[in-house]
Amino acid sequence: MIEVHNLTAGYGKRTALWNIDFSIHFPAFIGIIGPNGSGKSTLLKTILGELIPFTGSISLFGKPISEVKHRLAYVPQINSVDWNFPIRVMDVVLMGRFRPNSWGPFYSKSDREKAAFYLNAVGMSEFSKRQIGELSGGQRQRVFLARALAREADVLLLDEPLAGVDAGSGERILSVLSDYQQQGRSIVMVHHDLLTASTLFDHLVLMQTRLVAAGPIQQVFTLSNLQTAYGTDVSILSDMIHKLGQTPGNLSDHPKP
């Protein structure tokens, strides 16, 4: 279970999140959605323990974040990474096997086997010796996904893993996420495409600096909630829901990709 209580967070004097409160049971595939600048990445960073909240608390599996960090794996937003750093694809994935209290940057045979296994899972084996800077956006995203998978964590957190990736990479990423979920593990993913959000997730956290709604998708993905978050013309949103050929109430019946 993830429990977020009274959470307010931001940067310096700037508040990016106000008073967020929700709890969702695991296993779950949770989408964090909302317009640009609504605090999605900030929420993900506080869940990861990367950003210390101004007030409030977050617990996972009934424990504070600081005690469960080893159970989390993170795929950063690709435009937040320095691509000039000279490092090979395989070494990026191996970083996922690093344990803070192990003896230096030495990897065992099993670490290397696991890194190779997950690189293959994302369809990037043939690029293992390439420099990360030489890859396309979609390929980089798959390598960072392999690094996160190599941690073999219980919860995978991703920030817009499908943004700016080619269709082939997108499909591969979704199929890997679907396998991960089928192993009974949980995913928390920032996402900004409403159309696909309605078919991907089983739970949603809908943000607009404050929390609009959180919970099972059929309760959250409603016209009035989406309007509150996006402030968009009603007709655009209702049109979209209409195109899906569904009412929000049965959106969760969509087959998983």
Rounding to the nearest 10 degrees, give the CA dihedral for residues 43, 3, 149, 166. Answer: -40
Our CB check for ligand ADP shows the closer of 34 and 170 to be 34
Which listed residue (38, 41, 139, 225) binds Mg ion by CB under 5 A? Answer: 41
Binding-residue total with ligand ADP (CB under 6 A): 11
Which listed residue (2, 24, 29, 38) binds ligand ADP by CB under 6 A? Answer: 38
Give the nearest distance from C-beta 36 to Mg ion in angstroms.
8
* 14: contact with ligand ADP by CB under 6 A: yes
Give the nearest distance from C-beta 62 to ligand ADP in angstroms.
26
Helix axes 137-150, 167-182, angle to 10 degrees: 20
Q: What are 217's two structure tokens? A: 């998708």
Instruction: Name beta bridge partners: 205.
Output: 32, 214
* 37: contact with ligand ADP by CB under 6 A: yes
Which listed residue (2, 4, 9, 16) binds ligand ADP by CB under 6 A? Answer: 16
Spatial contact of 182 and 11, defined as CB atoms under 8 Å apart? no
Residue 239's alpha-carbon distances to 39, 206, 226, 236, 252, in angstroms, are 26, 20, 13, 5, 18
Give the nearest distance from C-beta 21 to Mg ion in angstroms.
21
Distance CA 145, CA 140 (A): 9
Q: Running DSSP on this structure, what letter comes out for residue 70? A: G
Distance CA 139, CA 165 (A): 8
* 42: contact with Mg ion by CB under 5 A: no
Give the nearest distance from C-beta 35 to ligand ADP in angstroms.
7
Give the nearest distance from C-beta 143 to Mg ion in angstroms.
20
- Segment near Mg ion (CB under 5 A), from 34-42, 194-202, 204-212, 230-238? 34-42
| Window 41 to 60, contacts with ligand ADP (CB under 6 A) | 41-42
CA 252 centroid distance within chain: 19
Residue numbers at the binding site for Mg ion (CB under 5 A): 40-41
Residue numbers at the binding site for ligand ADP (CB under 6 A): 11, 14, 16, 34, 36-42
